[in-house]
Amino acid sequence: MENVKQMEEKFRALLQEQDSYREALSLVQWDLRTKIPTKGTDQRAEVIGLLSQKIHQIKTSDEMKECIDQLKNQTGDAILQRAVEVCEEEYQRSSLIPDEEHRAYITLQSKSESIWQQARDEDNFELLQPYLEELVAYNKKFATYWGATTNKYDQLLDLFEPGVTTALLDQVFEQVRDGLTDLVQQISQADHQPDSHILTHYFPKEAQEKFSLDVLHRMGYDFQSGRLDETIHPFAIGINPNDVRITTRYDEQDFRMAVFGTIHEGGHALYEQNIDNALAQTPLATGTSMGIHESQSLFWENFVGRSKSFWKVLMEDFKSVAPEAFQQIDFEDFYGAVNEVKPSYIRIEADELTYCLHIMVRYELEKALIDGDLAVKDLPEAWNDKMEAYLGIRPSTNKQGVLQDIHWSGGDFGYFPSYALGYMYAAQLHHQMQQEMDVEAVIESGDFSPITSWLTEHIHQYGKVKKPLELIKEVTGSSLNASYLVTYLTNKYKAIYNL
């Protein structure tokens, strides 16, 4: 028993050291995406590479292996036992990648993200292409290290959504696509069509920020443990449980970009802020998967932020900061415009109904990249072809198309499906929440705390203690079921379009 206690202390010390490097790395990455001068990016990439290498060395050290071997199924501490399981998975995966190769990859990621910003600004895919080619090659190699022979993509998918496979994704994506195709067609032919032009008036950034901050306060975002900043591609990042930062992007001709983007990232942040403190400085003090993380952001953005109840209670607050052009807008017209269904080029501007189609485009392309069916040089044309096939629109520039997202430039292949999975998880959680409270009445009260409390009780507090599919089944009583999303969207949009 004494040896176990000593090993537990050694393990905790290793976890604390690893988490300290991770916190430093997160802060450096936040600065890279928000504040850094352009000329500072190359050296910053080297710093990120070094910090990542230190974390990799700890994860794959002999000391870590000793702790795993000695504590596996031996410690009586449930949190440590789960941490051992997570560390063992990370050890097995990370130890197969040579240390220098890992550092080179991380440095490449950082440089590539910076090049992506320039390529996007200049609408120049060729600038990013060589970096993407290297990133794809690394990911293929890593998948092979981890045991992949034919389907390399499943190995990458498991990094972000443990337990989910391409076979499952193909099944649920088909279910969503088939369930909504007819509805999209009906909407395109409906006599009643919302007019979103009533929303696209000049709206000063400062006024948008004021309204967005009010919404974050209502959601329960703790500003003593976080902050809101501006960036090109909005994100949330957990530096530590008491420092969870979010960013947004303002468009003074369309307030929806910032307002819904801020709500979305606020949903991510609430997850990180409400993880049980007992999990701090362990690998469990984070979301259990990217899909579950997205379920939280999409729950707040769509099931709350785009609901009629939300705008009923906040319309006066909105008009109090909005310019004159918004003062006489009819409420029903406003609500319909906020929820207009119209294929768009940009994923983060997509309506609820067509959003999943954007994810399917990316999912199919990155599968083809990783499994060798598509070359990086052919990506822009392939992207445009799929956008035309799935959404009926063809981007005229790469900035509208393949260059719009940061994910691939950061090497995040296997990440995109989590967005659609998160939407399905969110719909399933929303259905369950409705069985336990009148969700619309809670929203209309203006006090969103019962929603935050429910999500904290059932999702947030557990961090990574429970696996994603296990968590969803435990909370809702059933496995992942795409029909909840199809039903929600069908009911909502039939009402909006008078179908």
Q: How many CB atoms lie within 10 A of CB 267?
A: 30
In the structure encoding, which two tokens stand for residue 63, read together?
Answer: 């000391």
* DSSP annotation of 61: S
Q: Read off the tokens for 490.
A: 């069908």
Was 293 annotated as part of a binding site? no
Ranges of each domain in the chain: 2-123, 166-496
Per-residue pLDDT of the chain (499 residues; tens, 9 = 90+): 558 899 999 999 999 999 999 999 999 999 998 988 989 988 998 999 899 999 999 999 999 999 999 999 888 899 999 999 999 999 999 999 998 898 899 999 989 998 999 999 999 999 999 999 999 999 999 999 998 877 899 999 999 999 899 999 999 999 998 888 888 889 989 999 999 999 999 999 999 999 999 999 999 999 999 999 999 889 999 999 999 999 999 999 999 999 999 999 999 999 999 999 999 999 999 999 999 999 999 999 999 999 999 999 999 999 999 999 999 999 999 999 999 999 899 998 889 999 999 999 999 999 999 998 899 999 999 999 999 988 889 999 999 999 999 999 999 999 999 999 999 999 999 999 999 999 999 999 999 999 999 999 999 999 999 999 999 999 999 999 999 999 999 999 999 999 9
DSSP 302: I
Helix pair angle (78-94, 2-34), 10° resolution: 60
- Report whether 264 belongs to an annotated binding site: yes
407 marked as part of a ligand binding site: no
Find, among 154, 129, 126, 161, the residue nearest to 139 by Cα: 154
Q: Given phi > 0 = left and psi -120 to 50 = alpha, else beta, which region is 163?
A: left
Q: How far is CA 277 from CA 146, 409, 453, 462, in A?
A: 33, 33, 16, 10
Number of helices (H) and strands (E), helices first, in the chain? 20, 3
Amino acid at 207: A
The vertex-306 CA angle with 304 and 311, nearest 5°, equals 90
Cβ-contact 194, 496 below 8 angstroms: yes
Instruction: Answer yes or no: pTM beyond 0.75.
Output: yes
In the block, tokens 């292949």 appear at 413
Structural class in CATH, domain 166-496:
mainly alpha
Largest distance between two CA atoms of the chain = 76
Q: How far apart are CA 47 and CA 25, in angstroms?
A: 9
Which of 20, 35, 29 has the alpha carbon at shortest distance from 48?
29
Q: Looking at this protein, which amino acid is placed at residue 96?
A: L
In 3D space, the residue among 220, 266, 273, 284 whose CA is nearest the CA of residue 243 turns out to be 273
Amino acid in the structure at residue 451: I
**Which residues are catalytically annotated?**
265
State the CB neighbour count (10 A cutoff) for residue 411.
Answer: 24
